[in-house]
Structure 1
Amino acid sequence: MMKVNQIFALLTLLGASHSLFAMQALTDQLLSQSTGQDGIKISVINSGTSARVLWHDNDGWAGRGVDAARGSLILGDGNAATNFRINGGTTNIVIDADGGTGTNNAMLNIGIQLPDQMEISTGDISIAGSDGAGNIINNKKIMNDMQIQLHGLNLNMQLGHEAQGHMILATGTIASGIRINNFGLLDGSASTGTNSYGIGIGQIRIKDTGAANNDLTIKGIAVDINSTGLVIDVIQGGNGVDVQLNDLRLGDLSNSATALGNAELRGLKLVGSSLTISGH
């Protein structure tokens, strides 16, 4: 049985802790006094992310007939330096809950500011068989490891009532434009372990038409979900975009092979374009 002096000490400790940590309701006013503003801001400092990414098609392609079998699309080879990768940087996320003024107008607004030097690497892309338990067999490379640079893109997500008209809205100015480096689409029947034959582009750059600094202005790319699937729409634009294809190669993609040169599309209008991703 607990002694009297032990009980007394315990009661004294509880009383002291109550005076130090008395609980009270947290209101917006109290939160603003504590943080300087309403809402929540989260800064995610990432030293770099690497992972092997696999998508499994559980029934394969029906057009192949009796040979149809489950397969996998794979990004990366299992090594940290050559997997699917996102470079390090700081992502700032600002979250606000808004009650609105009408029926069902409440929403959660999530502003996402991506790192200034945002870069995504795909890793080598390959196709393989799948045993249904996550194991892959007969791996065949179909595309090179590409780097996608998105310096300056911002995203805003709204859940509940979408005052901006869309679930996710992408805006911002991408410094030096969207750049895709080391694009290579391989002909699997001709390529071997030492030779890569296919369509190669040293760099694809997408920028504002006539922009001297090569920047790309994103005025409105919307992402929504409907009964069909994921829908991506270009809803606002300026004078169009230029698409530059530098170091274009057909056939042998090695650096020693002769390139065809460069190619361009100028003043391309994308407003009204739509992309839908769904199962089948």
Structure 2
Amino acid sequence: MKLFSKIALVSAMAISANAMALESMDDEALSAATGQDGITVTVVTSGITIDKLLIHDNDGLDSSVATNGGTNLGGTGIAGDNTTGAAGAIVVNDVTVGVSATQANPLFGGALARITIDTDSGAGGGATGNPFLNINMKNNGIDIGVGSIAVAASNDVSAMVGARRGAGAETEIISGLDLTVGASEMNIQLGAQPQGAMIVANGTIQGGLTINSLDLVDTVAGGDISIGGMKITSENNANLVVNTKISVLPDTHATGGGLSITSTGAKDLYIDSLALGNDHSIGSIEVQGLDMGNSSILVSGH
């Protein structure tokens, strides 16, 4: 287990050498303090920042794809018809992550997160067991800010400088995003996965999910859709109760391989100050008891 302790500590330090301070307890100290073996990593940070996050689509959009009423109108000037099949990128600018200042009773001394790692022999034990690695992650309330989200042409891989590829001139599609996620818990199991999925988020996000501002830009017409705020909670509840399972399906699955996200539970949604195309709000929108049943999303490459 001492080898695992060193690996966990080095991995956590690599996340942000400048922004984070880490507190790690070895097996002997943890056992003396709590009566349990295992690895605990506490992440303390004054804030995490990312200048740019880029997701490169290396083959772009196929020029034969139908873009208007099922017919490709190549060369007409309608958006989407002049596809190139060249690499493009989603560019997320100026990301900030920090412990929420609004959380009333922050966990474990106000640290960003605490990760507890254990291994178990599984049901049956010994040679007949189903061993697994269990990683439990608890985080305080988190404030996340995004300066803007844009699209751009990806730079050529051959021109990369170190690990930096970058992109060309950006076309902004979302001018800003500010959200708050309440304190929550997630459990990851690798190996036998007796919990029934690789990742299970089954708990309560205190205060729900709050989007403080969002502006969606129409780059052709020049207007935008903006909201003064959005709040998502469970039905008739001040908090958001989460019941989500995340699995990785193989290509042999009936719907194709990919990342499967399954979620249940009815939600309440409130959108404040919705404005379409100008600064004048049309009012607020409220949705009560939105229940999508046992919904599943499958994310896969193409």
**Do 1:58 and 1:132's aligned partners in 2 also have CA atoms closer than 8 Å?**
no
Alignment pair present for 1:208 and 2:210: no
CA contact (8 A) 1:75 1:122 kept: yes
Compute the displacement of 1:226 (Å).
0.9
The residue identity in structure 2 corresponding to 1:120 is: I
**In the alignment, what sits opposite 1:185?**
216
What SS does the aligned partner of 2:112 have? strand
For these two proteins, the number of residue pairs brought into alignment is 231
Q: Does 1:274 align with 2:296?
A: yes
Report the equivalent of 1:79.
Answer: none
Please list every run of 5 or more consecutive structure 2 residues that lacks an aligned counterpart in the other structure: 1-26, 66-80, 100-110, 158-164, 251-256
Q: Tell me the distance in 1 between the aligned counterparts of 2:47 and 2:240.
A: 25
Q: Secondary structure at the match of 1:32?
A: helix
Structure 1 unaligned residues grouped into runs of 5+: 1-27, 77-82, 192-196
Tell me, in whole angstroms, the C-alpha distance in 2 between the residues paired with 1:57 and 1:67: 12
Going from structure 1 to structure 2, the CA distance change for 1:270 and 1:152 (only over 3 Å counts) comes to farther
The residue type equivalent to 2:186 in the other structure is L
Equivalent pair of 2:229/2:272 in contact (CA under 8 Å): yes
What SS does structure 2 have at the residue aligned with 1:146? strand
- Paired AA for residue 277 in structure 1: V
User: Of 93, 100, 103, which residue of structure 1 is paired with 2:115?
Assistant: 93
Residue among 137, 143, 167 paired with 1:136 = 167
Which of 224, 244, 247 in structure 1 is aligned with 2:273? 247
Structure 2 partner of 1:43? 42
Question: Does the Cα contact within 8 Å between 1:111 and 1:157 map onto a contact in 2?
Answer: yes
Q: SS of 2:31's equivalent?
A: helix
Give the SS at the match of 1:143: strand
Question: Which residue number corresponds to residue 87 of structure 2?
Answer: 70
Distance 1:263 1:106, change over 3 A: same
* Alignment deviations for residues 196-251 of structure 1 (CA, whole Å, 9 cap, x no partner): x221111111112223xx22122x111111121111101x43xx211111110100
TM-score with structure 1 length normalisation?
Answer: 0.76
Q: Is the 8 A contact 2:54 2:166 kept in 1?
A: no
1:5 maps to which residue?
A: none
**Contact conserved, 1:112 with 1:154, CA < 8 A, in 2?**
yes
Does the 8 Å CA contact 1:201/1:246 hold for their aligned counterparts?
yes
- Residue pair 1:72, 1:128 contacting (<8 A) in 2 also: yes
**Percent of residue pairs bearing the same amino acid type:** 33
Runs of 4+ in 1 over 4 A off after TM superposition: 28-31
Q: Which has the larger radius of gyration?
A: 1
Q: C-alpha distance in 2, partners of 1:86/1:267?
A: 30
Structure 2 length normalisation: TM-score?
A: 0.71
CA shift for structure 1 position 54: 0.2
Contact 1:99 1:107 in 2 (8 A): yes
Query: Following TM superposition, by how much is the alpha carbon of 1:145 offset from its aligned partner in structure 2, in angstroms?
Result: 1.9
Query: How far has the Cα of 1:271 moved from its partner?
Result: 3.5
For 1:127, the equivalent position in structure 2 comes to 151
- How far apart, CA to CA, are the structure 1 residues paired with 2:30 and 2:138? 23
Q: 1:137 to 1:270 in 2, by over 3 A?
A: same
The one-letter code sitting in structure 2 at the alignment partner of 1:68 is G
One-letter code aligned to 1:231: S
How far did 1:190 drift? 2.3
Q: Do the aligned residues in 2 keep the contact of 1:144 with 1:184 (CA within 8 Å)?
A: yes
Find the aligned partners of 1:242 and 1:66 in 2 and give their Cα distance: 40
Is the alpha carbon distance of 1:245 and 1:35 closer, same or farther for their aligned partners in structure 2, counting shifts above 3 Å? closer
Q: 1:249 is paired with a residue of what secondary structure? A: strand
State which of 244, 265, 277 in structure 2 corresponds to 1:221: 244
Q: Deviations over 1:125-157 (max 9, x none)?
A: 000111223232121100022122111211000
For 1:173 and 1:66, the matched residues in 2 are separated by 44
Contact 1:104 1:161 (8 Å CA) reproduced:
no
**Could you say if the C-alpha distance between residues 177 and 279 of structure 1 is closer, same or farther in structure 2, counting changes exceeding 3 Å?**
same
